[in-house]
Amino acid sequence: MIDLLGTAAGATVVFAATNIDDIVVLTLFFVGARTTGRPRPWQIVAGQYLGIGALALASTVVAAGLLVVPEPWTGLLGLLPVALGVRALLRDDADDAPAVVGSTLGVAGVTIANGADNIAVYVPVFRALDPGGGAVFLLVFAALIALWCAAGAWLGGHPRVTRLVGRVGHWLVPAVFIAIGVVILATSGVLPHLLALLR
């Protein structure tokens, strides 16, 4: 018998702990949607579902022993937000917050890169769950993605946030994405492996 409330509470804690930084990214996406029209709000929501769904699927496959993730090398995904941030900085969008990504797949890619470290948390959790518990986790995750998107949309439409991003967004938004990528690269342990290859 599944402890429905306990399992749902556990799923909520796991999701919130591993995706709190997504609120910042979603807010920036929604500010971009308001100021530049890219990505569109539905693309942000779809990309978020696609990205987190991919992370959950990968974690389930790894937990089942069907795939081995080379631990530090997932950190190379940090290069994606760095590249997107640098590209946005090099554009001549001084009057607006640049649209760092403009498509569903772009949003999903950033979500996956930003959540690559989530797999290390999800795998042991999913390994310990029976199929019913796993289904509860996935349903709670689906509901919380909607809540996260709603929070990002609300923050992205808040006058103070839009004024701030309007003033300094041409460098702040790319800087945030570059910082996210650097943190992923630095905390994943991939940099020593890359340096060892270069020797």
pLDDT in tens, the chain (199 residues): 567 888 899 899 999 988 888 888 899 899 888 888 889 999 999 999 999 999 999 888 888 776 666 666 667 777 888 888 888 778 755 445 556 788 899 899 889 888 877 887 888 888 888 888 889 999 999 999 999 999 999 998 888 887 877 777 677 778 888 887 888 778 777 778 777 777 7
pLDDT value of position 140: 95
pLDDT value of position 2: 62
Residue pair 131/7 in contact (Cβ under 8 Å)? The answer is no
pLDDT value of position 42: 95
pLDDT value of position 139: 94
Q: Where are the beta strands (DSSP E) in 86-182?
A: none
pLDDT value of position 150: 96
Residues in the chain: 199
pLDDT value of position 87: 82
What's the CA gap between 12 and 10, in Å, rounded? 5
CA angle at residue 124 from 184 to 10, to 5 degrees? Answer: 95
What's the CA gap between 1 and 7, in Å, rounded? 11
pLDDT value of position 70: 63
pTM, full prediction: 0.78
Residue 71 is given by DSSP the state G
Q: How many CB atoms lie within 10 A of CB 1?
A: 4
pLDDT value of position 159: 86
Q: Show the tokens assigned to 113.
A: 């890169």
Q: Among all chains, which residue has been given the structure tokens 């779809």?
A: 46
Q: Show the tokens assigned to 90.
A: 């090099």
**Cα 65 from chain centroid?**
24
Residue type, 107: V
What's the CA gap between 120 and 71, in Å, rounded? 9
pLDDT value of position 98: 57
Residue pair 174/92 in contact (Cβ under 8 Å)? The answer is no
Residue pair 96/36 in contact (Cβ under 8 Å)? The answer is yes
